[in-house]
Amino acid sequence: MAGNIRLEVVTPEKYVVDEDVQIAVAPGSLGEFGVLIGHTPFLTTLKTGVMHYTDASGTQRYVFVSGGFAEALPDKMTVLAESAERRKDIDVDRAKAAMERAQERLAQSKAEDIDFNRAKAALERALHRIRLCETRR
């Protein structure tokens, strides 16, 4: 192993991750990308989805991220997101309630309404949270 990078995942409310990792993989707007030590510097916006990383001891970890961007440097990756939660911190019942609310709003609004796009984004967040809780161990 050539060495670790520092991974920071930050929201306006809290530090979600701040640790040394072997590799970090995140859902960039143009596609998923991985960062190892020595990566060329770059900046990208993120899609709502799940990022994962291998921690210094070799354990795979998963983090939901929504709305933000990531900066890769040769020895560091920083994710600034509107919301982010480690898998273990996701409240799946809350996500299911959010999914149902979003589905009701979608059924009641038209595709050109602002509410429709908001509900679509809320549904996407809820579905990623639920999927992460239910499929990754």
Residues of the shown chain interacting with ligand ATP in the complex, contacts defined by CB under 6 A = 13, 66, 83, 85, 89-91, 94-95, 98, 122, 125, 129
Both tokens of 58, joined, read 């070799």
Closest distance of CB 131 from ligand ATP, Å: 12
Q: Closer to ligand ATP by CB, 9 or 95: give it.
A: 95
Q: Closer to ligand ATP by CB, 13 or 112: give it.
A: 13
Alpha-carbon Rg for the chain in angstroms:
16
Closest distance of CB 107 from ligand ATP, Å: 17
Q: Closer to ligand ATP by CB, 12 or 58: give it.
A: 12
Q: Closer to ligand ATP by CB, 72 or 85: give it.
A: 85
Asked whether the beta carbons of 79 and 65 are under 8 A apart, the reply is yes
For the four alpha carbons of 102, 106, 108 and 113, in that order, the dihedral sign comes to positive
Could you give the 3-state DSSP secondary structure of residue 51? Answer: strand
Could you give the 3-state DSSP secondary structure of residue 111? Answer: coil
Could you give the 3-state DSSP secondary structure of residue 113? Answer: coil
Closest distance of CB 16 from ligand ATP, Å: 8
